Structure 1
Amino acid sequence: MLLILVSVTSIKANNDDDSKNGKITGHVKTSDGQPAIFVNVGIVGLNKGTTTIDDGSFIIGNVKPGTYTLKISYAGALTEQKTVTVTEGQTTNVEFVLSENSTQLNEVVVSSTKTINRKNLSIGKMNIAPIDLPLSVTVIGRDVLDQQQSLRLSDVIKNANGIYLYSARGNTQETFGARGYSFSSTNMFKNGFRINSGATPEMSSLERVEILKGSAALLYGNVAPGGILNMVTKKPKFTQGGQVSMTYGSYDLYKPTFDVYGPISSKLAYRLNGTYEKANSYRDNVKSERFYINPSLLYKISDKTNIVVEGDYLNYDFTPDFGIGQTNNIIANVPRSRYLSPLWSWGKTKQTTATATINHQINSLWQLSGGFSYQRFDRQYQTTERVQPDAIGDWSRPLNRAKTLEDYYTAQFNVTGQFNTGVIKHNILVGLDADRYNNTNNTFVAAIKDGKLDSKGVSSYIDQNGNIQSATYDKINIFDLNKYQQRLDMPVMNAIYSVLTPTNRFGAYFNDLISLSEKVKVLAGIRWSYQYISPTNVTGYYTPDLTPAFAKGKEDKAFSPRVGIVYKPIANTALFASYSNSFITNTGTDVNNNPLDPSLVDQFEAGVKNDFLNGNLSVNVTAYRIINNNLAQTAPFGPDGVTPNTNATLKALVGETRSDGVELDIAGHPFQGLDVLAGYSYINARYTNTPKSPGSFLPGQPLLNVPKHTANASVFYNFYDGSLKGFKVGASVYYLGNRTAGFANVYPATDPAPGQPQPASRLLPVPDFTTVDASVGYTYKKISIIGKISNIGNVLNWNVHENYSVNPIPPKQFLTTLSYKF
């Protein structure tokens, strides 16, 4: 039986609260003083309630005077009830202390698979439970990452239907997509700040991964449609503790990690976690080595104000790997392990971030928050790339070295609050954000002689005899590596010019969740976004000067409205519908050589959210339509509006892309010990209403790398008593449907003559696949061990970028982690 100590006091309400009703506030903590997060707190008979947030606190406002039964509940434990008295114009404070400590609560109670409709999201910027929002959200918590032993973000997103790995180009990074549209750096966030997606992020430092599907333009400005992803790192605590672990896996994977936290003083707490990882690969010659550190400090200026300062540093050495290639739009039939680039190929990524955030609770209803983030990103590699052999497998390997530097400054400020206009309740957000983004790309060449650039240009190199050659490094055959003699020397490549592109973004937004009643809520808001890409700054290092022309500056600005409605016929069911508009910036110029305007995107969404089994199981269904009303593609006519245009660099906003889909999300604890996380998505994303003109996309063909069907299911069971106490078992199934890679087909410049063949398709079909993982673990006091076999069926499939980076998925592998908590 749980024991709960309750202290009830009455204090005078804030002077700025003129309501004649009262409020109930308080905290729920564990026996060792840790905040109890995501605990349900409700008033019996009133259908009024909330969940505790990160500090264990809760607020239930606008309660009529009287005596009530306050109920707290959470998965895997009994429900508890206490009597409280609410007085007019006063706040009743309730402090709960649970009998469990934080470790027990994490294992038994607070699971990230529970009630996804009730958890407040930092990515949403408002203290609102998802069930009251006309949006679709997914939260994947630390327990799921530990149970599945997730090493990469691509492992994590398998638990979110409608989100998928879009590309793994060259083994240099992972790119994701949602609802038919690719994420870029604009859609990836860490602790609410936009980050570069070129680095493969570290999973051991994360507390949870939040995904907001659909439109997020109102909150974050220039984002691609489909959704955004936010990684939330572990935060300092005022109790001493930590964990060390060691992970070992197939292909000589070694990964020790540590995580320590505790108080420095009564107002200052710290956390420090980090890891080292070294591994070979199922791919010949491919290896990696990572070092990561993540320190953070939490300073409580007062009971109402705190500052969190954190940073992290990732040093990632890897082997660039552009996969196995394809011939005649068919994936090459070569061994999964075959590596086709030179053995000397190398890659390095370094990413540093520093973030400071402040939160100030003005009173129980109003809060200020803000922050600043700096990011330094440095990635470079040298190899041969673009595996594009001919029909018999011969491939002339092009040499390339790449280097990208970024400095990224981001700031934001938000005000959230609640007030009433008569019987109508308002929960508002007002905010500002700004970014400064400096991107520097370098172009390299090997043929530098006597301090001058050879006239053969940027594709030239110096061979073993000191002679300047052009075009390619050497030739191999992807089916028979012994057919040609491979070169073994690594050419020295020099940067011949760099291009600096500064980008500035600014946004101001307002959002209001209007509660017309307990059953009907309306969400309405608007954002104004401004973006200016400055003229490029090009620096050449050699003569003759082959630097490109300076690009003009480009200015984009747009309003992004959003409106939605939520109807709750009963407390645990919500029907919703929403509309939003956003914009996508475009590169290139129109036929008059002016910068191209942004494309406007309409998004429609409707669905139902349900909580069953006393809030222990959430089942949500969502349908959506996304329309890019003015797709940027080759202009059909020249400046005179009559002459057909054949210049692919001149563009116009003509045609559409459209994505229609349905998603099913299931998450929760049907009964004690059982964790369930599952879902299904259908995506029909294609080109529509495109004009019949040279270079225009053919209508009806699918958008690239978009699976029409995805499905996932993860089931874990923890034994809490009996002879198997301490054991856990689980399995995960992941299905990714057929995709189409390559390049989209376009109308030819001239129609083929009668009897002549049509232009060859540029599409590369990729088949569907299903993988199954199984896990078993055991915990005894402070020690735990868990093992996993992934891809039990040893299924072969591929991640494809365009038509040249065809990377096989991992075969059957094992992974085991031994941990000690203190």
Structure 2
Amino acid sequence: MTHFLRKIHPPSFNFIAFIFFLTLCLNTSLVWSQSTLGTVKGTVKTSDGKAAEYVNVVITATNQGATSGQNGHFTIKNVAPGTYSVSASFIGLQTQTKQVVVVAGETATLNFVLAEGGKELQEVYVQSAKHNKFLKKETEDVARLPIKNLENPQVYSVVTSELMKEQVVTSYVDGFKNIPGTGVPLVYNNGRTTLLSRGFTTGNFIRNSVAGYNFNAIDPADIEKIEAIKGPTGTLFNSSLASFGGLFNRVTKQPFDGTRTEITYNTGSFDLNRLTADVNMPLNKDKTVLFRVNTALHNEHSFQDAGFNRSFFIAPSITYIVNDRLSIDVDAEIGNGNATSAYRLAPDPKAKIYNIQDLGIDYKRSFANNNLDYQSRQIDIYGLINYKISDNWKSQTMFNKTFSTTKGFVTAFTIADTAIRRQAIKEDYPYYVTNVQQNFIGDFKIGQFRNRIVAGVEYYNQKSNNTNVSVNMPLINYKTPGAAYNNFTPEKVSALIAAQAPIAGNYVQNNQSSYAAYVSDVFNITDRLNAMASIRIDRFVNKGAYTPADGKTVGNFSQTAWSPKLGLVYQVVKDQVSLFGNYMNGFNNITAISFDNTPFKPQYANQWEAGVKVDAWDHKISSTVSYYDISVTNTTMDDPAHAGFSTQAGTQLSKGIEAEVIANPFAGFNIVGGFAYNNSKITNAAAGTGLQGLRPAASGPARLANLWMSYRITHGKVQGLGLGVGGNYGSSSYQTNMATFKFTIPSYTTVDATAFYDQPRYRIGVKVDNLTNEKYWSFRLAPQNPTRFTLSLNLKF
């Protein structure tokens, strides 16, 4: 996989301006006079009689069309006389097709009433989307139950595919710019990413609510939405896949009963070439077998002097509606990639430099070589069986099987005074994950009190076979490296590996399993007051790290942990404003190794949280504001008395405020904003660690903010033309924060902007990320992209 696409330089802004001008001219031309052409107009409503906004209405034979406005009205002008089929479609609504006769000089009226799709909470989503198109809060994933956001005592954020399309997102982690408190993505050597949640590093290991352990980069082509569930979530989700700050659940695109194809091409800075396709169709006349496939071809170079990412991704999915009680979903994510390792730099504690800006290292120097690369592969198979047992109970069976691997060279850099040490690791690291869940979900009354309950069991297994050999290259001056800069090659590295004596730890096998049972009940005391009570028991079995060379196993242990969750919600204004409070518990099985090989106790986190949720003005504004307090016990840290080992003697506190707003004040204008303040510190540290009372470096910036505002013209000849602007802010943070040494990462403010023209049959968009060319870094001191330009061309069939 060396060359996927021909190198193309990004178009100039003059060229983009010309494209927009040409498009507007084509759509506003008056080729035929009103005396020879006709008009089709009408309204689109949902089955509850309310106006439906953003519905695509298209004349099938001519591809002429319009998008319904906030009042549900649409108008298609300059239609040649004749008889046509006109279709109205919107994701989540059933597509409807009607016949119309167009007469020259006259206006034909056509009205649509679209029924909701098959999800239990779909009606709420459709009503929300009529005005606030980035609002998709109603989800069954968070509580595993059909409860609305205003009924749920837990805090969560949802980033929709519509928002990511408007922002021309070509990288999965770019979608997290819209989630309060996530910060700058942390990219690992093989493309795997983590972000922040309430001051804790949080991975991307959950897909469709079960394990989706992707050790490589995640392609956004198949993402319907990203759900960020906040706080310890050990009651309903596997603790091995979440942090004490929460979890990120990526929800994939599912088949629906219409026929639609979208093809998108993105090009831009750093030789970006990206081609994606989304094809959906029923496979039989009865529309009981539905098929959808998403695929992506991606090629991009780094802004630095070396570095690239090339990948191919395909995600087919099938839904089989056996009858009105039974449905089966099967889908897969298959990816192959070739890339260079992510930039990673460690400072020198002995040097007298305490800030990345003062280090004076060249922002655009990679210190690497494109030949030191790796291959990645991902196969993720997912199955879901929904069976309606009765009017009050249903069975939900979920299965996931994952294979994820990287093979090749990854790199790491360390500063030593004015020199840099470049390390190369030749690795072959496959992961094998199996996850099975069985849930029984009920919605029933005991007397006059409504109960919504989920009871389930889960099995999870993760295996890995890690082969790696590390070598260090000679030191070079990082300011004036000279010819030695180019010595970091596979040939040089392989020679050092060949000369190195093998050790037993070069090949290690790991095997972990967990067995869990859980139950959660939402109990309606009144129609405004409800309580949630949940509990989980988890049996964790770690067979340890086994080295076949010497036959030794270390770190093997078994543990049992309980995790409760309680919540209370009162709707001050019915279906508009609610007050909530929760107590949530999470745990983490510690696999670190102590000096005497004694197993560590589970690490526990207990959260208390209170806040307010708003969903008012006919869903035009949705907001959540909360205060949380998370206390962590049995915290592990480096053992100061024994290098390379850990000790368990700490406690940690993480508390703060989070706020989010998603608003549509008037037609076409949308706002997504958030703010997070996090105060984290080690409240009890082992003697000699130098951590007592300090903020953990991995907690990131204490203050983070995000904002996105966009306006789209909803009526007139240039309907669909829009602009967007926004940005992100992070306060200063630490790469290292100890009493003896601190290394600071400065604050940052980035600004992004976009312009687009969205029509029923095509979309043109341009995006400029980091408009002010801000220099900023991740926790691993990786320089982030400078100003980046992207052009997006989208065709819809």
Per the shorter chain, which TM-score range? Answer: 0.7 to 0.9
Q: State the distance in 1 between where 2:272 and 2:89 align.
A: 37
Give the Å deviation of 1:195.
Answer: 2.2
The 3 A distance-change label for structure 1 pair 622 and 220 is same
Residues 321 and 341 of structure 1 are in contact (CA less than 8 Å); yes or no, is this contact kept in structure 2?
A: no
2:569 to 553, 566, 569: 566
Q: Residues 349-387 of structure 1, C-alpha deviation per residue, up to 9 Å, x if partnerless?
A: 11110111111223443221111111001113315x332
Q: State the distance in 2 between where 1:342 and 1:249 align.
A: 23
Q: Provide the alpha-carbon RMSD of the alignment.
A: 2.8
Match of 1:92 in 2: none
The 3 A distance-change label for structure 1 pair 667 and 37 is farther
Match of 2:238 in 1: 221
Alignment pair present for 1:721 and 2:740: no
Q: Residues 121-173 of structure 1, C-alpha deviation per residue, up to 9 Å, x if partnerless?
A: 32431111121011101111110010011122221111010223452234733
Alignment of 1:600-639 (within 5 A): 600-633=604-637
SS of 1:145's partner is: helix
Q: Residues 528-553 of structure 1, C-alpha deviation per residue, up to 9 Å, x if partnerless?
A: 0111011433233xxxxxx5842142
Residues 207 and 249 of structure 2 are in contact (CA less than 8 Å); yes or no, is this contact kept in structure 1?
A: yes
Q: State the distance in 2 between where 1:530 and 1:4 align.
A: 51
1:290 to 300, 311, 316: 311
Match of 2:415 in 1: 389
Residues 785 and 819 of structure 1 are in contact (CA less than 8 Å); yes or no, is this contact kept in structure 2?
A: yes
The 3 A distance-change label for structure 1 pair 676 and 527 is same
> Which letter maps to 1:55?
G
Q: State the distance in 2 between where 1:321 and 1:592 align.
A: 35
Give the Å deviation of 1:425.
Answer: 1.4
Match of 1:586 in 2: 590
Give the Å deviation of 1:649.
Answer: 5.9
Give the Å deviation of 1:115.
Answer: 6.3
1:203 to 212, 220, 231: 220
Match of 1:764 in 2: 743
Give the Å deviation of 1:324.
Answer: 6.3
Q: State the distance in 2 between where 1:517 and 1:809 align.
A: 51
Q: Residues 40-79 of structure 1, C-alpha deviation per residue, up to 9 Å, x if partnerless?
A: xxxxxxxxxxx9985255699xxxxxxxxxx99835xxxx
Q: Residues 383-411 of structure 1, C-alpha deviation per residue, up to 9 Å, x if partnerless?
A: 5x33222222x234333212211111111
Match of 1:55 in 2: 118
SS of 1:217's partner is: coil
> Which letter maps to 2:612?
V
> Which letter maps to 1:420?
K
Q: State the distance in 1 between where 2:654 and 2:116 align.
A: 35
Percent of aligned positions with the same letter in both sequences?
21
Alignment of 1:194-593 (within 5 A): 194-222=211-239, 223-265=242-284, 266=286, 267-322=288-343, 326=347, 328=351, 329-331=354-356, 332-383=359-410, 385-392=411-418, 394-444=419-469, 459=471, 472-482=472-482, 484=484, 486-487=486-487, 488=489, 489-492=491-494, 493=497, 497-540=506-549, 549-571=552-574, 572-588=576-592, 593=597
Q: Residues 666-706 of structure 1, C-alpha deviation per residue, up to 9 Å, x if partnerless?
A: 01322221221111010011111335x23363223344242
Match of 1:177 in 2: 196
Alignment pair present for 1:153 and 2:172: yes
Q: State the distance in 2 between where 1:400 and 1:438 align.
A: 21
Match of 1:2 in 2: 43
Gaps of 5+ in 2: 1-41, 50-85, 95-113
> Which letter maps to 1:623?
Y
Residues 522 and 563 of structure 1 are in contact (CA less than 8 Å); yes or no, is this contact kept in structure 2?
A: yes
Q: State the distance in 2 between where 1:227 and 1:220 align.
A: 10
TM-score with structure 1 setting the length: 0.78
Q: State the distance in 2 between where 1:396 and 1:35 align.
A: 52
TM-score with structure 2 setting the length: 0.81
2:695 to 688, 701, 704: 701
Corresponding residue pairs, total: 681
Residues 686 and 703 of structure 1 are in contact (CA less than 8 Å); yes or no, is this contact kept in structure 2?
A: no
Q: State the distance in 2 between where 1:607 and 1:218 align.
A: 21
Alignment pair present for 1:139 and 2:143: no
The 3 A distance-change label for structure 1 pair 486 and 505 is same
SS of 2:548's partner is: strand
Q: State the distance in 2 between where 1:5 and 1:800 align.
A: 47
Q: State the distance in 2 between where 1:612 and 1:141 align.
A: 20
Residues 505 and 530 of structure 1 are in contact (CA less than 8 Å); yes or no, is this contact kept in structure 2?
A: yes
Residues 115 and 667 of structure 1 are in contact (CA less than 8 Å); yes or no, is this contact kept in structure 2?
A: no
Residues 728 and 778 of structure 1 are in contact (CA less than 8 Å); yes or no, is this contact kept in structure 2?
A: yes
SS of 2:767's partner is: strand
Residues 152 and 200 of structure 1 are in contact (CA less than 8 Å); yes or no, is this contact kept in structure 2?
A: no
Give the Å deviation of 1:741.
Answer: 1.0
Residues 131 and 667 of structure 2 are in contact (CA less than 8 Å); yes or no, is this contact kept in structure 1?
A: no
SS of 1:154's partner is: helix
Residues 429 and 510 of structure 1 are in contact (CA less than 8 Å); yes or no, is this contact kept in structure 2?
A: yes
The 3 A distance-change label for structure 1 pair 709 and 171 is farther
Q: State the distance in 2 between where 1:815 and 1:72 align.
A: 30
Q: State the distance in 2 between where 1:325 and 1:55 align.
A: 51
> Which letter maps to 1:225?
F
Give the Å deviation of 1:714.
Answer: 0.7
Name the structure with the higher helix share.
2
Match of 1:786 in 2: 765
Q: State the distance in 1 between where 2:209 and 2:475 align.
A: 47
Residues 683 and 706 of structure 1 are in contact (CA less than 8 Å); yes or no, is this contact kept in structure 2?
A: no
The 3 A distance-change label for structure 1 pair 355 and 406 is same
Match of 2:729 in 1: 735
Alignment pair present for 1:192 and 2:218: no
Q: State the distance in 2 between where 1:595 and 1:424 align.
A: 46
Residues 37 and 110 of structure 1 are in contact (CA less than 8 Å); yes or no, is this contact kept in structure 2?
A: no
Match of 1:25 in 2: none
The 3 A distance-change label for structure 1 pair 715 and 59 is closer
Q: State the distance in 2 between where 1:486 and 1:5 align.
A: 64
Residues 258 and 275 of structure 1 are in contact (CA less than 8 Å); yes or no, is this contact kept in structure 2?
A: yes
Match of 2:66 in 1: none
Alignment of 1:603-682 (within 5 A): 603-633=607-637, 646-648=641-643, 652-682=647-677
Match of 2:785 in 1: 810
The 3 A distance-change label for structure 1 pair 351 and 54 is farther
Residues 316 and 349 of structure 1 are in contact (CA less than 8 Å); yes or no, is this contact kept in structure 2?
A: yes
The 3 A distance-change label for structure 1 pair 110 and 503 is farther
> Which letter maps to 1:737?
S
SS of 1:219's partner is: coil
Q: State the distance in 2 between where 1:649 and 1:289 align.
A: 36
Q: Which runs of 4+ in 1 moved over 6 A?
A: 5-8
Q: State the distance in 1 between where 2:581 and 2:428 align.
A: 45
> Which letter maps to 2:725?
A
Give the Å deviation of 1:601.
Answer: 1.2
Give the Å deviation of 1:196.
Answer: 2.2
The 3 A distance-change label for structure 1 pair 3 and 677 is closer
The 3 A distance-change label for structure 1 pair 169 and 114 is closer
Residues 114 and 669 of structure 1 are in contact (CA less than 8 Å); yes or no, is this contact kept in structure 2?
A: no
Gaps of 5+ in 1: 9-29, 39-50, 61-70, 76-107, 446-458, 460-471, 541-546, 636-644, 747-759
SS of 1:204's partner is: helix
Give the Å deviation of 1:413.
Answer: 1.0
Q: State the distance in 2 between where 1:33 and 1:729 align.
A: 24
Residues 166 and 182 of structure 1 are in contact (CA less than 8 Å); yes or no, is this contact kept in structure 2?
A: no
Q: Residues 618-661 of structure 1, C-alpha deviation per residue, up to 9 Å, x if partnerless?
A: 121011011112222467xxxxxxxxx82356655423111011
